Amino acid sequence: MAHYKLILAYEGTQYAGFQRQAHKVTVQSTVEDALRKLGWQGRAIMASGRTDSGVHALGQVISFNFDWKHGEEKLLKAMNANLPSDIAVQNVAEVPWVFHPRYDALRREYRYRLYFQGQRDPLRDAFAWRLDRMPSLELMNKAASIMIGSHDFRAFGRALKEDGSTVREIFEVDWKSVGDEQHFTIIGNAFLYHMVRRIVYVLVKVGLQEQRLEIFQQGLSQGETGIVSLAPARGLCLMHVEYPKCVFGEDSKVDEFPE
């Protein structure tokens, strides 16, 4: 018996989020089904976090115990042979028993994509939010910078547990132009339910000058913005989860978004 860490990439379009749900197809249930075909008898895999319905990932981290006697490379190939085409294992490593993908994580990195044109682009619509006009990068970056540091983000999301803390720490935020798109990167210690998508929605409204720059300061100081809308799930991707080097040997990182 050994403890394994896997890095997953998936297109979330067809899934009701990562976490297993009754009567719905999720990433977790699909991965567990693939494992059971290989003889795994565990109850549940552990994950670095729960992505929403329709959200993608390049760097989702999972772990599980498994009595597998054929090596890491064969486990990777066997998993991918039993997974659908929109989920793929990127890396397999045996790790210490104490490793937990959620509780040991130091930083999580998400990326959100926007593109701009009058008509839908079927080749990009599954991975980006289409807008008719470009918001101001300067305004969005100025608003986003207010979030740096440790704050109560209850105005932008909710804790997964009823009595859970809504305080999170944001390390980096950045909007930049990438070709004819705009990409937003946000790195924090953890995120609330719907937090990144609500932040993106409000930032875009600021960039389009449909909301005041001060809306973020209001949300952090008063705990409300009056805005309940979310950016579409399809533009969001979990890029990478970082762990202390002491937890396990070599940390794997995936940097590119699938085109």
- Domains of the chain in start order, with CATH, are 2-104 (3.30.70.580), 107-238 (3.30.70.660)
The pTM (predicted TM-score) of the whole model is 0.92
DSSP code string of 18-76: SS--TTS--HHHHHHHHHHHTT---S--EES--PPTT-EEEEEEEEEEE---S-HHHHH
124-175 pLDDT, tens per residue? 999 999 999 999 999 999 999 999 999 999 999 999 888 899 999 999 999 9
Mean pLDDT of the chain: 93
Percent of the chain with pLDDT over 90: 92
* Nearest CA-CA partner of 179 in 115, 120, 121: 115
In contact, 184 and 174? CB cutoff 8 Å: yes
One-letter amino acid of 172? E
Any residues with CB less than 8 A from the CB of 198 and at least 6 apart, and which?
156, 157, 227, 229, 230, 231
Checking if the pLDDT of 214 tops 80, the result is: yes
Indicate which residues carry an active-site annotation.
Answer: 52
Strands 149-152 and 167-178: antiparallel
Structure confidence by residue, pLDDT tens digits, 30-60: 999 999 999 999 999 999 999 999 999 999 9
Residue type, 88: A
